[in-house]
Amino acid sequence: MARKRDIAIGVIIAVCFLFFVGIMLVSFMEMYGGDSDLFAFEDRIAIVDVVGAITSSDEVVRQIKKYGDDGSIAAILIHVDSPGGGVAVTQEIYDELMRVRIEKEKLIVVSMSSVGASGGYYLSCAADQIIANPGTLTGSIGVILDYMILEGLADKVGISHETIKSGDVKDVGSPWRQPT
């Protein structure tokens, strides 16, 4: 009789242990695996980082597409800490954000960190809402052009030049004259 009782207690302990291990395994998969929806009872928010110079759009666009197609994702938070980068790659990210926002009806929110300038600010404009700290450096979409004006130096050393142009502003940025 005692032997049957010991076996029954052993089986109960083994089942409880396996159940506990199973729960722990699923919990770790949820925390570190990421893609399991086993215990997803509510809508989720996806986070996409755009940090540093924007030199490639591949990874960011891939993530935005993935989260846009995921029905359990209610909103995408874009974390921007970027001074900008390439025009074409930034345009690709902007276009994908707009597509997901309009076609998939996902809420897009941008959180700007230290810098959201140039391309970082441009792609942020695709969001439903932009959140920035008061100290975030923000703005400057393609608004800077530096060039030297050599007109006075050329006159001093006796250098002359001739500009042939087909329009009034074809020589904008010419170092040989003052801007008008």
Catalytic (active-site) positions: 118, 170
Residues facing residue 109 across a β-bridge: 77, 129
Tokens of 49: 């980082």
